[in-house]
Amino acid sequence: MTPRGTGPSRADALRVQVRNRYGRIASEGSCCSVSPDATACREAPGSGQLGYSEGELSSLPAGADLGLGCGNPTALSSLRPGEVVLDLGSGAGIDCFLAAKKVGSKGRVIGVDMTPEMVAKARANARAGHYRNVEFRLGEIEHLPLPDRSVDVVISNCVINLAPDKGAVYREAFRVLRPGGRLAVSDVVATRPISARQRADPVLWSSCSSGAIEAAQVKALLRRAGFSQVRVDRIPQGGTPRTLESQASLGVVPAFILATKGPG
C-alpha cells in the first residue's frame, strides 16, 4: 500500500532519503551520526533488547549488528537445514549470518539491500566471518534480483515500512517463494492514524517511523499478494528500547508478521 500523496516522484525522493541515511550509517558504523537524539543513541544498546540472545550476538562478525532492527526474524522463521533464505533489506548482515548457521552448509542465504555502502559492509563482514553460504546483492525489495520460486523463506527486519510501495514488496516476496514457502518478518506497525504531514517528513520516514501502516492494512496487502495463514502479532516488550522511542511517539510499535505461500 502506498500512503496517499506518495506518487512516483515522491516515492523516488523517499528512496533517496532512505538510501542516504543508511549509507551514512554503514560508513560510520552506527545510527548516532543521523539520530536526532545523539545522547539517546550513544546510550542505546545494540540488539540485545530486540529478541537476540547473547550467544547469537557474540557469534557475529564485528560490525554486523548496527542495532537497526525491531525484532529477531530468525527466531520467528523456524529455519531448517538446507533451506534457501532471502533477507529483504539485509543491512550489515546480522540476520543473514544467524540464518546461515541455522540452514547449515547445505543451505543458502541471500541478502538484498538497495544501499551500496551496506552491501559492501555486509560482504566484508561475510569475508571476516568466513561465511561461504551467504551472498549479498544490490537491489530494491520492490524489484527483487531473484528468479521465481527460488527461495524457501523470506525474512526481513524493520525494512518493509521504509518502502513506498509495500504491496509491491509483498508481491515480490510471493513471487520468489517456492510453493509452501514462508514469510517471517519483524517490522513496525501503526496503532493509530499517521498524519499526511508526518508521512511527508523524510526524517521520520527514513527512521522507520512514519512509513508504518496499520496491522489490518498489512494483512490486506499480504492476502492480496496471494499469501494465506496471515498473522500480525505485536511483539511484547518490557518498556521501549531507546532505538524505538521515535516510533513509540507516533503510536508505532514492533510486530511479527507471518504468512505462507500455498502449495499450489
Query: Which tens digits make up the pLDDT trace of 192-206?
Result: 999 999 999 988 999
**In this structure, what are the phi and psi dihedrals at residue 78, rounded to the nearest 5 degrees?**
50, 55
In a domain, 233, yes or no: yes
Q: Give residue 36's pLDDT.
A: 43
Residue 87: the pLDDT is: 98
- Domain membership of residue 1 (yes or no) is no
Note whether residue 124 is domain-resident. Answer: yes
pLDDT at 240 over 70: no
Cβ proximity of 6 and 102 under 8 Å: no
Give the tens place of pLDDT for each residue, 19-48.
Answer: 999 999 998 865 444 444 433 333 344 555
Asked if residue 21 is part of any domain, the answer here is yes
Q: Number of folded domains in the chain? A: 1
Query: Letter for the amino acid at 31?
Result: C
| Residue 253: CATH number of its domain | 3.40.50.150
Any domain includes 156: yes
| Domain hosting residue 157, numbered range | 8-260
What's the CA gap between 246 and 63, in Å, rounded?
24
Q: HSE (CB half, 13 Å, CA atoms) of 44?
A: 24
Helical H runs in the chain? 8-28, 38-43, 54-58, 73-76, 94-103, 116-129, 166-176, 196-200, 202-206, 215-225, 245-248
